[in-house]
Copies of this chain bind each other. A is one copy, B any other.
């Protein structure tokens, strides 16, 4: 087993002891991947002091053996993963009190635990693995940085191709093809391409709306390398920027820069959020920044920690977080500038090395 996975499992076992359970049923696929390397879409992982046991189905026979190695014993279950679980548990008399992941188990499956699994005691747990994932090791940061580089190169290629008259969907197509060409394994979330007044919608996708001269054009998208995600946003102007566009862009750019340079491990997520929010408020746009400053990024594109007005946990050293302030004026448009930053002991380091200067693309 790699040292990395051995450390993760050992840390999780400490967590189980603290949570007063002797084993944990892991149902989050991102958590399964973190602990075993398995990237398939169907798995139950049972972690006990004795062993880690991965149960999956016939489709993943070859893949599971390749990916998991000796990180876990792999069981290919022909009928139902749950039937396999009951059978295996019956052979482990030492296992009596099991934790399950309350945030990753559907009520339907919880009923299975209460019925077919009634011989055992089940305790809900929260964030036992997620907390470990918050602190990235150097190999993980490297993968996120590789994903960030893929995203950056794809963005450069896309901005060189965008023209007035293209639909947002066409722009998304250029971007996504470039992401694939640069090696992205997938799209961690639906690409946001929002032009004109649609850039004021923080959760726009791409539509058949056409890019027009003078528009703000917001691109928010991800890349994925070996399961690790990067998440970046840039907002450009098509043609020459107006004074108002410049003003709002300048506010968001400075808010991003201040937060990206001042954020530190040990701060709370609220304190980090306040750096950008305080600046935006001071410039008079506080009411137009309606969402939190950012979120962790790693095997999932949204993971712990959160940076927001209500996040009172301290940020772990090694966490990778997005810094994504925005100012949105309904009916007019919005600007968001998002970077991924790792919180090293020595200070923050920006992984998405793409200019934050205002870009005016040819109209």
Q: Please give the residue numbers on chain A whose beta carbons come within 8 Å of chain B beta carbons, in ascending order.
A: 40-41, 58-60, 62-63, 100, 102-108, 110-111, 124, 126, 169-170, 172-174, 176-181, 183-187, 190, 201-203, 205-208, 290-291, 330
Q: Do B110 and A103 touch (CB < 8 A)?
A: no
A83, B221: Cα distance in complex, Å: 31
Q: Do B180 and A205 touch (CB < 8 A)?
A: no
Quick one: closest B residue to A39, CB to CB?
B205
Quick one: closest B residue to A291, CB to CB?
B59
Quick one: closest B residue to A310, CB to CB?
B79
A40, B169: Cα distance in complex, Å: 18
Q: Do B169 and A185 touch (CB < 8 A)?
A: yes
Residue contacts A-B, CB under 8 angstroms, 26 given: A40-B203, A41-B203, A59-B202, A62-B201, A63-B201, A102-B107, A102-B111, A103-B106, A103-B108, A105-B106, A107-B107, A108-B126, A111-B124, A169-B180, A169-B181, A169-B183, A170-B180, A173-B176, A173-B177, A173-B178, A173-B181, A177-B177, A185-B206, A185-B207, A186-B190, A187-B187
Chain B residues whose C-beta falls within 8 Å of the C-beta of A177 in the assembled complex: 173-174, 176-177
Q: Quick one: copies of this chain in the complex?
A: 2
Chain B residues whose C-beta falls within 8 Å of the C-beta of A105 in the assembled complex: 106-107
Q: Do A59 and B176 touch (CB < 8 A)?
A: no
A191, B67: Cα distance in complex, Å: 21
Q: Do A173 and B169 touch (CB < 8 A)?
A: no
Q: Do B108 and A100 touch (CB < 8 A)?
A: no
Q: Name 12 extra pairs, CB < 8 A, besides A172-B180, A173-B177, A186-B190.
A: A59-B201, A103-B107, A103-B108, A105-B106, A169-B180, A169-B181, A169-B184, A173-B179, A173-B180, A176-B180, A185-B207, A187-B190
